[in-house]
Amino acid sequence: MAIPESLRHALHAVTETVIPTASGLEPDGWVALDRIVSNAVAARPPRMQRQLALFIRAIEWLPVLRYGRPFSKLTPARRRRFLESLQDSPVLLIRRGFWGLRTLILMGYYTQGRAIAAIGYRADPRGWSVRR
């Protein structure tokens, strides 16, 4: 399952909140992030795919109850506060959902060449001997 187009805007807003430097991604970087996340999600059971889509929708629309705006229209500070409330939720399922989504976002961003270079990651699949 690819991340539906209707959810990409919300996914990108969450990404920019979790990784503020992601706001500087070029269009091809967003395409790569979407592809990486979609491929990871496609490997999961259909039930989990539906749960993730529902969770992203909830993130987008629940802030309307508190702030009168969807998540993608909030200020960065309000976005961060809202995500912190999910991260620290007393409900285990919500915490797991947030950390699962966060993990997908981190994978989608930090597996791209530019991000790898920016953080100075130099690991090689051939092992430590290559770096010596």
Q: DSSP class of residue 81?
A: H
Q: Is a pLDDT exceeding 90 seen at residue 8?
A: yes
Q: What is the pLDDT of residues 35-53, one digit of tens each?
A: 999 999 999 999 999 999 9
The tokens of 73 are what?
């229209």
Packed helices 46-61 and 76-87: angle between N→C axes, nearest 10 degrees? 130
Q: What is the pLDDT of residues 37-93, one digit of tens each?
A: 999 999 999 999 999 999 999 999 999 999 999 999 999 999 999 999 999 999 999
Report how far residue 105's alpha carbon sits from residue 111's, in angstroms, rounded to the nearest whole number. Answer: 10
Q: Which of 64, 67, 73, 68 is nearest to 10 (CA)?
A: 73
Domains: count for the chain: 1
Q: What is the pLDDT of residues 15-25, one digit of tens each?
A: 999 999 999 99
**Which residue segment(s) compose the domain that 90 sits in?**
5-131
